[in-house]
A and B are shown apart, each in its own frame.
Chain A
Amino acid sequence: MKSKYLFPFLTLLLTIGFLSCDFDEKNINPNNSTTIEPGPLLSYSQLYTSNQGISKRVQVGYCMMMVQQTASLEREEMAGDKYLETEMLGVFFIESYNSYIKNVQELINRTQDNKDFVNTYAVALIWKSFLFHRITDLYGDIPYSEAGNGYRTQIYYPKYDRQSEIYSGMIRDIETGLSLLNPSAPGIAGDIIYKGDIEKWRKFGNSLLLRLGMRMEHADPSFAKATVQKAIKGGVMNDPSDICMIQHVAGKGGTENPLSAVFKGHGLVGSGTVKISKTFMERLKTTTDPRIYVYAALPDGTTDFDKQKGLPNGYDFLTIYEAEPDYKSLAEYSTFNPTTILQMDAPMVHLTHAEVELLQAEAILKDWIDGDAKEHYENAVRSSMKQMAIYGENGIISDERIENYLAQNLYEKAKTLEAKLNLIGTEFWVATFLNGYESYANWRRTGYPYLFPTLFDGSPNKGRIPRRFTYPTEEYSINREHVEEANQHQGADALSTRIWWDKL
Chain B
Amino acid sequence: MARIINLCVLLAISFSMLRAQTNQITVLGTVTDEKGFPMSGVTVQVEGSTIGTVTDANGNFSLKAPRESTILFSFVGFVPVKRQATDSPLQIVMKEDMIMMSEVVVTALGMGREKKALAYAVTELKEDAFLVKESNLAAELAGKVSGVNVVRPTTGVMGSTRITIRGNGSFGNNQPLYVVDGVPIDNSNYGQPGVWGGVDGGDGISSFNSDDIESMTVLKGGTAAALYGSRAANGAIIITTKRGVKGGVNVELKSSYTFDRPVVKTSDFQYEYGQGLSGTAPATLEMTMLSGPASWGGKLDGSDVIQFDGVFRPYVAVGKKNFSNFYKNAWRLNNNLSISGGDENVLYRVSVGDQRYNDLYPNSKMGRNNASLNLTAKLSHGITFQTNVIYMRERVKNRQNVNDYASNGNVLLWTLPPNIDIRSLAPAVDASGNELLLSDAYVYFANPYFIAYKRHQEDAKDRIFSSVQLQYDINKNWYLRGRIGGDIINRRSENILPKGTGYYRPGSISEGSSYSGEVNAEALLGFNKSLNEAWSFTSFVGWNSMMAWSESIGAYGDRFIQPGFNVIGNTETTSGGKSKWENYINSLFGQIELSYNNLLFLTFSGRNDWFSALSMKGKTTPNHIFYPSAGVSYLISEAFNLPSWLSFLKVRGSWAQSGGSVSPYNLTLTYGYGETIHGYPTGSISNSTIPNPNLKPLTSTSYEAGTDVRFFNNRLGIDFTYYVRNTRDDIVTAQISSASGYSHALVNAGKIDNRGVELLLSATPLETKKIKWNAAVNFSYNKSKIVRITDRVNSFIMANSRTGAAGDEGTPAYIYQEVGEPYGIIKGSSYVRDENGNIVYGKNGLPVKGEIKKLGVGVHPYTIGFGNTFTFSRFSLYLLVDSKFGGSIFSGTNDMAYFLGTHVNTLQGRENGVIGKGVKMDGTPNEVAVPAMDYYMYIANNIAEEFVYDASFIKLREMALSYDLPKRFIAKMGLSQISLSLVGRNLHTFYSKIPMVDPESGYTIGNEQGLEQWGLPAGRNWGFNLYIHF
Residues of A bordering B, CB below 8 Å = 1-2, 5-6, 9-10, 12-13, 16-17, 19-21, 23-24, 26-37, 39-41, 43-44, 47-48, 93-94, 97-99, 101-103, 105-106, 142-143, 146-151, 154-158, 190-192, 195, 247-249, 252-255, 472, 474-475, 477-479, 482
> What A residues does B745 contact at CB under 8 A?
150, 156
Could you say which residues of chain B place their CB within 8 Å of the CB of A13? 480, 482, 523, 543
Contact of A29 among B521, B670, B674 (CB under 8 A): B670
Q: Is B640 an interface residue (CB 8 A)?
A: no
Judge whether B673 is part of the interface by a CB distance below 8 angstroms.
Answer: yes
| Total number of residue pairs linking A and B with CB closer than 8 Å | 208
B872 contacts partner chain A, Cβ-Cβ < 8 Å: no
- Max count, chain B CB within 10 A of own CB: residue among A32, A105, A255, A475: A32
Residues of B contacting A93 with CB < 8 Å? 738-739
Complex Cα–Cα for A477 and B383 (A):
64
A31 touches B616 (CB 8 A): no
Distance from B809 Cβ to chain A, minimum over Cβ atoms (Å): 15
**CA separation between A99 and B738, bound complex, in Å?**
10
Asked whether any CB of chain A lies closer than 8 Å to the CB of B766, the reply is no
Chain A residues in 8 Å Cβ range of B674: 44, 47-48, 254
Any chain A CB within 8 A of the CB of B381? yes
CB-nearest residue of chain B to A17: B543
Range for the number of chain B residues in contact with chain A? 35 or more
Bound form: Cα–Cα A31–B578 in Å: 8
A-B contact pairs, 7 of them (CB 8 A): A23-B612, A36-B683, A47-B675, A99-B684, A151-B691, A151-B742, A192-B678
Which B residues are CB-close (under 8 A) to A9? 472, 480, 482
Whether B682 pairs with A40 at a CB distance below 8 angstroms is yes
User: Assuming the A-B contacts A20-B545, A101-B741, are A29 and B668 also in contact, with contact meaning beta carbons closer than 8 angstroms in the complex?
Assistant: yes
Contact A23 B610 (CB under 8 A): yes
Q: B667: CB under 8 A from chain A? A: yes
**A17-B523, A26-B582 known; A97+B738 contact, CB < 8 A:** yes
Q: How far is the CA of A60 from the CA of B229 in the complex (A)?
A: 57
Q: B670-709 CB contact bits vs A (8 Å, 1 = yes)?
A: 1111111110111111111011000000000000000000
Q: Sort A-B residue pairs by CB-CB distance and give the 9 closest, nearest first.
A: A40-B683, A102-B741, A254-B675, A150-B740, A32-B670, A23-B615, A143-B739, A23-B612, A36-B671
Q: Which residues of B contact A149 (CB under 8 A)?
A: 740-741
Cβ of B586 within 8 Å of any chain A Cβ, yes or no, is: yes
Residues of B within 8 A of A155 (CB): 740
Chain B contacts with A in 569-584, Cβ cutoff 8 A:
578-582, 584
Contact of A21 among B382, B610, B690, B743 (CB under 8 A): B610
- Contact with A20, one of B584, B616, B675, B681 (Cβ below 8 angstroms): B584
A154 contact set on B, CB distance < 8 A: 690
Given A23-B584, A24-B616, CB of A479 within 8 Å of CB of B739? yes
Q: In this assembly, does B129 line the interface, its C-beta being within 8 Å of a C-beta of chain A?
A: no
Q: Does B623 contact A (CB under 8 A)?
A: yes
Residues of B within 8 A of A474 (CB): 735, 738
Name the residue of chain A whose CB is nearest to the CB of B790: A156
How far is it, in angstroms, between the C-alpha of A151 and the C-alpha of B614 when the chains are bound?
A: 17
A32 touches B792 (CB 8 A): no
**Closest approach, in angstroms, between the C-beta of A124 and any C-beta of chain B?**
14
Contacts of B683 in A (CB 8 A): 36-37, 39-41, 43-44
Are B736 and A103 in contact, with the CB atoms below 8 A? no
Contacts of B685 in A (CB 8 A): 102-103, 106, 151
Q: Do A5 and B737 touch across chains, with their CB atoms under 8 A apart? A: no
Question: Which chain B residues lie closer than 8 Å to A472 at the CB level?
Answer: 738
Q: Which of A26, A30, A103, A150 contacts B580 (CB 8 A)?
A: A30
* B738 x A27 contact (CB < 8 A): no
Known: A20-B584, A41-B683, A150-B742. A2 touches B737 (CB 8 A): no
Contacts A97-B738, A106-B685, A157-B736 known; A40 to B680 CB distance under 8 Å? yes
For B742, the closest partner residue in chain A by CB is: A150
B667: which of A20, A27, A106, A191 is its contact (CB, 8 Å)?
A: A27
Residues of B within 8 A of A31 (CB): 578-581, 665, 670
Across-interface contacts of A6 in B (CB, < 8 A): 472, 474, 480
Task: Tell which of B584, B617, B677, B739 touches A47, judged by Cβ atoms closer than 8 Å.
Answer: B677
* Given A5-B472, A19-B545, A47-B677, A148:B740 Cβ within 8 A: yes
Most buried by B among A29, A37, A191, A482: A29
Rounded to whole angstroms, the CA-CA distance of A472 and B736 in the bound complex is 13
Query: B670, A33: Cβ atoms under 8 Å?
Result: yes
CB pair A16 B677 closer than 8 Å:
no
Contacts of A477 in B (CB 8 A): 793
Distance A48 CA – B673 CA, assembled complex (angstroms):
13
Does B475 lie at the interface of the complex (its beta carbon under 8 Å from any beta carbon of A)?
yes
Which chain A residue has the least Cβ–Cβ distance from B482?
Answer: A13
A222 to B675, CA, bound (A): 44
Q: Does B664 contact A (CB under 8 A)?
A: yes
Closest chain A CB from B568 CB (angstroms): 19
Whether a CB of chain A sits under 8 angstroms from the CB of B613 is: yes
Residue with the greatest number of chain B CB neighbours at <10 A, chosen from A1, A101, A146, A150: A150
Contacts of B586 on A, CB cut-off 8 Å? 20-21
A302 CB, min distance to chain B CBs, angstroms: 30
Query: Which chain A positions have C-beta within 8 A of B612?
Result: 23, 26-27
A151 and B738 within 8 A (CB): no
Q: List 5 other contacts, CB 8 Å, given A2-B382, A23-B623, A474-B735.
A: A24-B617, A29-B668, A36-B671, A157-B737, A478-B793
Q: How far is the CA of A103 from the CA of B687 in the complex (A)?
A: 11
Chain B residues, Cβ within 8 Å of A20: 545, 547, 584, 586
Q: How far is the CA of A472 from the CA of B581 in the complex (A)?
A: 36
Question: How far, in whole Å, are A253 and B559 apart by their CA atoms in the complex?
Answer: 15
- Report how far A21 CA is from B728 CA in the complex, Å: 27
The answer, among B579, B735, B739, for a CB contact under 8 Å with A97, is B739
**In the complex, which residues of chain A have a beta carbon less than 8 angstroms from the beta carbon of B743?**
94, 98
> Which residues of chain B from 453 to 488 have a CB within 8 Å of any chain A CB?
472, 474-475, 480, 482
A23 to B584 alpha-carbon distance, docked (Å): 8
Contact A150 B741 (CB under 8 A): yes
User: What is the CB-to-nearest-CB distance from B672 to chain A, in angstroms, rounded to a whole number?
Assistant: 6
Decide: A97 and B740 in contact? CB cutoff 8 A.
Answer: yes
Q: In the complex the two chains form, what is the Cα distance from A33 to B673 in whole Å?
A: 10
Q: What is the distance, in angstroms, from B452's C-beta to the closest C-beta of chain A?
A: 31
Q: Shortest Cβ distance from B728 into chain A, in angstroms?
A: 21
How far is B481's CA from A10's CA once the two chains are assembled, in angstroms? Answer: 10
- Given A6-B480, A148-B740, A150-B741, the answer on whether A43 and B580 have CB atoms closer than 8 Å is no
**Chain B: which residue is nearest A246 at the CB level?**
B677
Can you name the residue of chain A whose Cβ is closest to the Cβ of B544?
A17
Are B545 and A156 closer than 8 Å at their CB atoms? no
Contact A105 B472 (CB under 8 A): no
Contact, CB under 8 Å: A478 / B736: yes
Chain A residues lying within 8 Å of B735, measured Cβ to Cβ, are 474, 478
Cα A175 to Cα B678 with chains together (Å): 29
Residues of B within 8 A of A23 (CB): 584, 610-612, 615, 623
* A243 CB, min distance to chain B CBs, angstroms: 16
Q: How far is the CB of A266 from chain B (nearest CB, A)?
A: 14
B7 beta carbon closer than 8 Å to chain A: no
Check if B669 is an interface residue, CB within 8 A of chain A: yes
Evaluate whether A249 and B678 lie within 8 angstroms (CB atoms) in the complex, with A23-B615, A26-B582, A34-B670 already known: yes
Q: Does B675 lie within 8 Å of A252, measured CB to CB?
A: yes
* Cα-based distance from A195 to B677 in the complex (angstroms): 12
Residues of A within 8 A of B381 (CB): 1-2, 5
Alpha-carbon gap, A26 to B610, bound state (A): 12
- Considering the chains assembled together, what is the distance between the CA atoms of A34 and B612 in angstroms? 17
A23-B612, A35-B671 given; A105·B741 CB < 8 A: yes
Interface string of B722-753 (1 = CB under 8 A from A): 00000000000001111111110100000000
State A477–B669 Cα separation when bound (angstroms): 26
**A195 — which chain B residues lie within 8 A by C-beta?**
678
Which listed residue (A105, A106, A156) contacts B737, Cβ 8 A?
A156
Residue of A whose beta carbon sits closest to that of B583 = A26
In whole angstroms, what is the CA distance A68 to B953 when docked? 60
